[in-house]
Amino acid sequence: MKKLILVIIAILIYQFVMSQEIVTDIDGYEYTTVEIGNQTWLKENLRVTRFNDGTPIELVLEHGWGVWDHDPIPRCSYYNFDLFFERTYGKLYNGYVVRSDKNVCPVGWKIPNDYELTELVLQADPNINTDSLLWDNLSYTAQDKLISDVDAEYGGGGTNETGFSWLLAGAITANLQDVSFQNINGFSVLWSTTPAYEYEEDRNWTRYISYGNVARYKTHIGVGSPIRCLKDVNYDSSAQIEEIKIEYTVYPNPVIDQLNVVVDQSSIGKEYIIIDINGKILKQEEIVSQEFQVDMNDFSSGIYLININGKQKRIIKN
């Protein structure tokens, strides 16, 4: 009887694991998913360094996050500029990533809007007053069910009954002089795509969470905060068919001086982009013929990426 019970448990665990969708972003990071009500969410904060068309997001690894709305560049980093935190908490993105007309989430996924974040919180606490979910209307019930059940020292401490696995990832803020890292394991803010224009032009609606609090909050677009992606139920997969067909060849690889590139006819008029391993654009030019050369003489030895219409290949420069 005991053996039978163990077998049944093993089968149930296997079925649960196999039922979870694995989603891969453009950088190759994999995420599992969770269904909460009528929504499907990634169970981890986003880690990608590019929009899903291949356009790089500037990865800041030193004091240079930017001066609030005076420096409107999509940027990302990780807490304390320390890769250790990125592995657990994901990356922190400014609001210019969120407001971009490009999608940072994996294909078929999106950043939620304000209404969709409200729906998430309602699944955890149906008694929330959604008409005024601000600082004076908090929900201990929701925060406990949404926060991950990992140890508090790793950003958790909740019951995670929803399976959302929200981590208290802190934030990045900046002023004219310096960058500050705010209270990891103490709070977190999730971006929505909805601007808070009725209050201030430079803020978006977000959801703030800490121990005891879940609140609707307006966050400045210069702040660095996590992104959690929601499955886009309106996504039309057929719209991607033509772009997926685009192919090209590069040679020689490794390259010493001139990189030869051969593209298909549909790539003419698009751009090729050369990127370093930190996501910095080094060269960007229009494609005017099916065969062309990229001069690599001014590039140092190392690994680079060439991106054409969202498809990228690795280049080794000797």
Q: Which two tokens stand for residue 127?
A: 């008694």
**What are the residue ranges of CATH 2.60.40.3080 in the chain?**
242-317
pTM of the model: 0.70
Looking only at the bridges linking them, the beta strands covering 248-251 and 281-286 are: unpaired
d(CA 210, CA 156): 10
Rg (CA), the chain: 22
Round to whole Å and give the CA distance between 149 and 166.
9
Is the domain spanning 242-317 CATH 3.90.550.50? The answer is no
Cα–Cα dist 213/207, whole Å = 10
Quote the tokens at residue 236: 């039309």
Which pLDDT score is estimated for 11? 37
Task: Please list the pLDDT of the chain residue by residue as tens digits (318 residues).
Answer: 545 444 344 433 334 443 457 899 998 899 999 999 999 999 999 999 999 988 999 888 876 555 544 578 899 999 988 888 998 999 999 999 999 999 999 999 999 998 899 899 989 988 876 665 555 556 678 889 999 999 998 899 999 999 999 999 999 987 656 678 888 999 999 999 999 877 778 899 999 998 778 888 899 998 999 999 999 988 876 555 444 445 788 889 899 999 999 988 878 888 898 888 666 778 889 898 988 999 999 999 988 888 887 677 888 899
Q: What is the DSSP string of 165-181?
A: -B----EEEE-SS-EEE
pLDDT of 10 reads: 40
